[in-house]
Amino acid sequence: MKLPLYFISDVHLKLSIDQAEKNRRKKLYRLLDKICETGGTCFFVGDLFDFYFEYPDVIPKAYADFYEKASNMKKSGVHLHFLTGNHDHWFQDFLETNIMNKIYTDDLDIIVNGKRFFITHGDGILSWDHGYRLLKKIIRSKFFITIFRWIHPTIAYKIAKFISRSGKEDMHEAEFNKDVKNELQNFAKNQFKDGFDYMISGHYHLSEIYSIDKGKLAVLGDWFHRPSYAKFDGKDLSLLHWEENV
The confidence score (pLDDT) of residue 245 equals 42
**Residue 167 within any structural domain of the chain:** yes
| Tens digits of residue pLDDT in 211-236 | 999 999 999 999 998 899 999 999 99
User: Around 132, how many Cα atoms within 13 Å sit in the side-chain half-sphere?
Assistant: 9
pTM, to two decimals: 0.94
Band of residue 246 on the pLDDT scale cut at 50, 70, 90: very low
Task: Measure the CA angle with vertex 182, ends 112 and 107; round to 5°.
Answer: 35
| Tens digits of residue pLDDT in 194-210 | 999 999 999 999 999 99
**Residue 149 within any structural domain of the chain:** yes
**Residue 246 within any structural domain of the chain:** no
**Residue 148 within any structural domain of the chain:** yes
| Tens digits of residue pLDDT in 9-59 | 999 999 999 999 999 999 999 999 999 999 999 999 999 999 999 999 999
In this prediction, residues 67-83 reach a mean pLDDT of 97
Q: What is the CATH number of the domain that holds 42?
A: 3.60.21.10
* Residue 171: pLDDT over 60: no
| Tens digits of residue pLDDT in 89-130 | 999 999 999 999 999 999 999 999 999 999 999 999 998 888
What 3-state DSSP class applies to 212? strand
What 3-state DSSP class applies to 98? helix
In this prediction, residues 173-180 reach a mean pLDDT of 77
Q: Which domain holds residue 103?
A: 5-241
Residue 87 contacts residue 50 (beta carbons within 8 Å): yes
- Cα separation, 65 vs 71, whole angstroms: 10
| Tens digits of residue pLDDT in 185-194 | 999 999 999 9
DSSP secondary structure letters along 144-188: HHHHHTTS-HHHHHHHHHHH--TTSPP---HHHHHHHHHHHHHHH
**Total domains, the chain:** 1
- Is omega for the bond preceding 60 within 30 degrees of 0, making it cis? no
